[in-house]
Amino acid sequence: MFGADVHPDGSAAFLVGEAAVSRIFREEYGRSVASLIRAFGDIDAAEDAVQEAFAVALRKWPGDGLPPNPGGWITTTARNVAIDRQRREARGRELLREVAVLLPQKDDPGTAKEVGAVEDDRLRLIFTCCHPALSTEAQVALTLRLLGGLSTEEVARSFVVAEATMAQRIVRAKRKIKAARIPYRIPELHELPGRLRPVLAVVYLLYNAGPASPAEPDLRREAIRLARVLSTLMPNEPEVAGLLALLLLTESRRASRSRPDGSLVLLGEQDRTRWDRALIEEGQAIVRRYRRHGPPGPYMLQAAINAVHADAATVQQTDWSQIVALYDQLFAVSPTPVVALNRAIAIGEVQGPAAALPLVDELDLGDYYPFHATRADLLWRLGRADEAAAAYERAAALAPTKAERDFLKLGGRADVIKEAGR
């Protein structure tokens, strides 16, 4: 982050460059903004003060060295900036009353109730950002902006929209929070299922923003960081842990998941020695820890499926019947055609392609290219080469990237490509 170095006067000191400050900015922004919103009841005032505090840091730290607790320093400085501004502004006191909507109410149980041992304003903030009264687009944008500390321009780039469009989206969302008085509170237990769902969905969406986004590595890192924060703050919510485990296990395969040209490597063809064992162990430990926490939800089930894959040294050694059983459970709680498709693929591994094909054929997924790729694969294995070729054609026509299209046109599997090349 920053290197210990020797000063010209001979004393050891930390050299703090702009890069270090911006890294600290990314890490501490959400915590500071969340704490300032709680103190001052206004998002814009909090953001302005925290940004000002970082501007002060950029001036001071390179000369003075890094304070022992940079995050705490930023929050304290921002708090002083905000108080100064309020004093200076004649209407400060009046304004404070108006914006007091975001200040926790005395009788609000979300205020009194501490979240486990850790009380963190970031939890309030993410529930405000992901309030179901906001559109999913607004939820994602606000979460990245306020918790992730991304600039509006960075958020816009992440989702491939114009900066002006994104700026307007964020302004509108903040306006709605103020006008409709979306509160700054942790939902009560009975509200939690409905309120947690969009929070987890936003984090999952960030991770999967995908190769279409130039900020993809940042978004993946940010999603995992947020999932970690959430699972620390809500240790008793198995689905929060499930989401973190799912992201860690998915991330463990990242290096082997795509070719240099960006095309996808199927699970069965990945070089498993390149899987990240540390991430796998962390993810699997979470799955094991929550095994007896009652019926698992969709994130935990997907994590469990990935944990089984991670256990197998080769695709042939995969415990497919366990995977089928997990997909049965997943389909019971989340009966979507995509889950049904993956369940059919697993059944194909246990009972063979003849059992899987009719399950695939009955799905209404004509616009989803993995559906055609799966059909193609099953048809190929059944020796129905012409039909397989036609299905690969359809998959290729729907695939999102050129690398993907070329790959599917060649038969969608490395072994098929090899055969075609003979």
Partner 1 sequence: MAHYLLSVHSVAGEIREPMTDDEMKESFRQIGILEAEMKSSHSLVLSGRLHEPDTATVVRISNGEVLTTDGPFAESKEHLGGFYIIEADNLDAALAWATKVSKTIKRPIEVWPFVDVRS
Counting contacts by CB under 8 A, is residue 124 touching partner 1? no
Among 174, 185, 309, 413, interactor with partner 1 by CB under 8 A: 185
Counting contacts by CB under 8 A, is residue 133 touching partner 1? yes
Among 141, 182, 279, 310, interactor with partner 1 by CB under 8 A: 182
Among 31, 122, 131, 309, interactor with partner 1 by CB under 8 A: 131
Counting contacts by CB under 8 A, is residue 181 touching partner 1? yes
Torsion of CA 245, 246, 247, 248, to 10 degrees: 50
Counting contacts by CB under 8 A, is residue 101 touching partner 1? yes
Counting contacts by CB under 8 A, is residue 179 touching partner 1? yes
Nearest-approach distance from CB 235 to partner 1, in angstroms: 24
Choose one: 49-57, 182-190, 313-321, 399-407; the region binding partner 1 (CB under 8 A). Answer: 182-190
Closest to partner 1 by CB, 107 or 114: 107
Counting contacts by CB under 8 A, is residue 96 touching partner 1? no
Counting contacts by CB under 8 A, is residue 372 touching partner 1? no
Closest to partner 1 by CB, 48 or 108: 108
Nearest-approach distance from CB 132 to partner 1, in angstroms: 9
Instruction: Count residues near partner 1 (CB under 8 A).
Output: 14
Nearest-approach distance from CB 179 to partner 1, in angstroms: 5
Closest to partner 1 by CB, 87 or 181: 181
Closest to partner 1 by CB, 23 or 197: 197
- Residue ranges in 188-247 that form contacts with partner 1 under rule CB under 8 A: 191
Nearest-approach distance from CB 38 to partner 1, in angstroms: 15
Among 70, 183, 283, 412, interactor with partner 1 by CB under 8 A: 183
Among 22, 69, 105, 151, interactor with partner 1 by CB under 8 A: 105
Counting contacts by CB under 8 A, is residue 187 touching partner 1? yes
**What is the binding site for partner 1 (CB under 8 A)?**
98, 101, 105, 108, 131, 133, 179-183, 185, 187, 191
